[in-house]
C-alpha cells in the first residue's frame, strides 16, 4: 500500500496541485498493482512553526527538516498499519551514511519507531541518489515501463517545475544514466536547460549539496560512456562548484534570498525596475 500525505509538501489550500499528486499516486498504484491511500493532514499547520524554529535555532536547521518530518510522516502510518495488520512500514531515505547529514529522518530514528506490531524501515539508505536513479532507469529499461518521478517541492501545481535545484539535480542524474528526463515526468524546455546553471546556483549551494550531489553528478556525466549531454548543460564539464558557489554574483543572490521576505520583495522591486 502506497501512502501519500496532503499537507506535507503540498499545501492544504493547493487543491489543483493535490489533484495532480493524487492522480499520479493512483496511476502508480495501478502500474504496480498495489493499493494506495491518501491522508489529509494539518501536521505542519497546527504547530507554531516560527516559534519552534526560533527554539531550535542553535541546531542551524529548521524544525521541520531537523526535528519533525521523519516521525511526523511515519506517525500517519500507525492507524493504517493497525487497520490492515501491516508488519512493515517503509519510508524512503534521502541520504546515505557517507553524507553524514543531520536530518530528522535517519535510520537511527526511524528504525527505532514501532507501533501495534509494525516495524519501520528507513529504506535504501545504502544507496546514494545516483544509484537510486540508476536502479529506476535499469528497471524502466528492462520492463519497458515509463513513469513519473515526482521530486519537486517548489511548484504549487504538483508537477515537476524543471527549474528548481531538486528538479535539475534529478534531471542531470537521469542524463548521467543515459535517459531523457522527459520519460520520467520532467517536461523541460531548452530554456530550462539553458538557465540550469543560474537556477542551480541562484539560492546558493551548501557544502553538503556540492560534495554529496553535484560533484558526483559532474563526475558521472563526464565519465560515463552512455551519459547524455545536451549542449545546454555542457557548462558542467568545466564548472568549479566550490568557486562558483562563492562567486560574488552567487553570494549576492544568497544574501538577498536570506533577507526577511518583506525586505527582500522591496529590494527585488527596486532591482527589477
- Chain positions contacting Zn ion, by CB under 5 A: 152, 154, 161, 164, 167
Residue 203, C-alpha cell as written in the block: 539560492
Which residue is listed with cell 554574483?
A: 249
Least distance to Zn ion from the beta carbon of 223, Å? 26
Q: Which of these, 118, 120, 135, 126, lies nearest to 93 by C-alpha position?
A: 126
Q: Please, which residue, 133 or 167, has the CB nearer to Zn ion?
A: 167
Least distance to Zn ion from the beta carbon of 111, Å? 30
Q: Judge contact between 221 and 229, C-beta under 8 A.
A: yes
Q: Please, which residue, 67 or 186, has the CB nearer to Zn ion?
A: 186
Tell how strand 118-123 and strand 114-115 pair up: antiparallel
Q: HSE, CB side, 13 Å, CA atoms: give it for residue 150.
A: 19
Q: Please, which residue, 125 or 201, has the CB nearer to Zn ion?
A: 201
Q: Which helix (H) or strand (E) holds 119?
A: strand 118-123
SS3 37: strand
Least distance to Zn ion from the beta carbon of 49, Å? 22
Least distance to Zn ion from the beta carbon of 161, Å? 3
Q: Please, which residue, 164 or 233, has the CB nearer to Zn ion?
A: 164
Residue 24's φ and ψ, nearest 5 degrees, are: -60, -40
Q: Please, which residue, 113 or 149, has the CB nearer to Zn ion?
A: 149
Least distance to Zn ion from the beta carbon of 150, Å? 10
Q: Count of CB atoms within 10 A of residue 55's CB?
A: 12
Amino acid at each position: 500500500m502506497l501512502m501519500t500525505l496532503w499537507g506535507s509538501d503540498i499545501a492544504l489550500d493547493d487543491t489543483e496541485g493535490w489533484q495532480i499528486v493524487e492522480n499520479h499516486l493512483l496511476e502508480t498504484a495501478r502500474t504496480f498493482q498495489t493499493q494506495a491511500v491518501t491522508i489529509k493532514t494539518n501536521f505542519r499547520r497546527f504547530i507554531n512553526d516560527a516559534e519552534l524554529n526560533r527554539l531550535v535555532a542553535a541546531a542551524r536547521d529548521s524544525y521541520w527538516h531537523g526535528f519533525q518530518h521523519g516521525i511526523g510522516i511515519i506517525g500517519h502510518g500507525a492507524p493504517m498499519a493497525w487497520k490492515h495488520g501491516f508488519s512493515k512500514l517503509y519510508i524512503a531515505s534521502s541520504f546515505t551514511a557517507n553524507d553524514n547529514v543531520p536530518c530528522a529522518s535517519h535510520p537511527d530514528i526511524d528504525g527505532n519507531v514501532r507501533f501495534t506490531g509494525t516495524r519501520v524501515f528507513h529504506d535504501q539508505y545504502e544507496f546514494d541518489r545516483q544509484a537510486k536513479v540508476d536502479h529506476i532507469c535499469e528497471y524502466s529499461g528492462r520492463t519497458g515501463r515509463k513513469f513519473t518521478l515526482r521530486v519537486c517541492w517548489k511548484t504549487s501545481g504538483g508537477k515537476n517545475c524543471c527549474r528548481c535545484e531538486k528538479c535539475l539535480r534529478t534531471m542531470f542524474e537521469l542524463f548521467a544514466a543515459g535517459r531523457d528526463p522527459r520519460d520520467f515526468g520532467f517536461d523541460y524546455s531548452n530554456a530550462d536547460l539553458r538557465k540550469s546553471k543560474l537556477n542551480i546556483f541562484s539560492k546558493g549551494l551548501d557544502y553538503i549539496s556540492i560534495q554529496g550531489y553535484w560533484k558526483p553528478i559532474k563526475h558521472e556525466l563526464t565519465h560515463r560512456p552512455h551519459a547524455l549531454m545536451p549542449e545546454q548543460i555542457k557548462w558542467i564539464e568545466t564548472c568549479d562548484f566550490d568557486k562558483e558557489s562563492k562567486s560574488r554574483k552567487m553570494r549576492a543572490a544568497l544574501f538577498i534570498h536570506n533577507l526577511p521576505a518583506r525586505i527582500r520583495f522591496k529590494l527585488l522591486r527596486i532591482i527589477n525596475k
